[in-house]
Amino acid sequence: MSSAIDGPKRDKEAEPAGSQAVKALLALREMVLAGELPAASRIAEVALAERLGVSRTPIRAALMRLEQEGLLEPLPGGGYTVRTFSERDISDAIELRGTLEGLLARLAAERGAAQVVRAESRLCLDEIDQVLAQPALDDESFSRYVRLNERFHGLLCEMAGSPVIAKELERVARLPFASPSGFVVAQANSGHARDMLIVAQDQHRQVLEAIEQGEGARAQAIMCEHSRLAQRNLREATTSRQLERMPGVRLIRKRGT
């Protein structure tokens, strides 16, 4: 006859492995970005498994995935530690994203993007125009912009039809500072934030036009230039207190460390 103590154990064992893996990955990623796992120290699998209420198998899978995303580093004797980033690392990640997105834009123009995806992209940009038409943007407007901006960049990737490059772009964009909207939230309260978003939106329109007209080199150049806005935002954020609002800020090494 089973006891009441056996109940939670059986429930955990009965939970689908895929569900445990997703639960562990999402929780661990959030813990890393929030600075709850100290850098330069070995991550304890057993303690994490007990804390999250899952077995060690999904914990190991999640740690491997976070290493692939670039948030963890393997230790020589086995195990992982949280990775930290210099400002140059962040700048390089943004540059790499711009290079990959530029390549995707060129391929989309040269290969010919599907009409349905181009139409969806135009609708997405129309919605961004509606957000930016407001004289002042509140937190809800910025959140909506972030969602639509990420949607447009996802459609750009879809237009190119290159799973290989898309996978590499996804890996780079998962770094806490390299996503298309990585510095939008950090800049939300700056006086010229809306002006910067209007410039970015104009580049969105230009790259879609270049893709539709089959101008590969122009589309590539626009997306590479588009990433320069993020570089500018990085410089401004690191010289102010705005960076403190960003997820993952605790992973940034101070100058000289």
Domain that holds residue 154: 87-251
Together in a domain, 42 and 117: no
Per the listing, tokens 């100058």 go with 255
Identify the pLDDT of residue 242.
Answer: 55
Residue 3 lies in a domain: no
Which one has a higher pLDDT value, 93 or 34?
A: 93
Q: Which amino acid is at 183?
A: F
Listed residues 82, 110, 138: the one ending a domain: 82
CB 212 within 8 A of CB 203: no
Together in a domain, 202 and 142: yes
Most confident segment among 129-138, 214-223, 238-247: 214-223
Number of domains in the chain: 2
> How confident is the model over 93-137, as pLDDT tens digits?
889 999 999 999 999 999 999 999 999 999 999 999 999 998 877
Together in a domain, 180 and 116: yes
Residue 199 lies in a domain: yes
Q: How confident is the model at residue 237 (pLDDT cuts 50, 70, 90)?
A: low
CA–CA gap between residue 134 and residue 131 (Å, rounded): 6
Question: Which one, of 28, 177, 167, lies nearest residue 91 by Cα?
Answer: 177
> Is 241's pLDDT higher than 70?
no
Q: Please give the backbone phi and psi of residue 83, each rounded to the nearest 5 degrees, phi first.
A: -85, 145
- The residue ranges of DSSP E strands in 47-205, in sequence order, are 72-74, 80-82
Per the listing, tokens 């102010």 go with 240
Q: What is the mean pLDDT of residues 224-247?
A: 71
Q: Which residues of 11-30 are buried (b: 16+ CB within 10 A; e: fewer)?
A: eeeeeeeeebbebbbebbbe
Question: Which one, of 44, 208, 47, lies nearest residue 128 by Cα?
Answer: 208
CA–CA gap between residue 206 and residue 218 (Å, rounded): 9
**pTM: predicted TM-score of the whole model, two decimal places:** 0.72
Together in a domain, 92 and 213: yes
Q: How confident is the model at residue 1 (pLDDT cuts 50, 70, 90)?
A: very low
Question: Which one, of 204, 189, 197, 193, lies nearest residue 156 by Cα?
Answer: 204
Together in a domain, 97 and 113: yes
Identify the pLDDT of residue 257.
Answer: 47
> Is 164's pLDDT higher than 70?
yes
Least confident of 12-16, 57-61, 108-112: 12-16
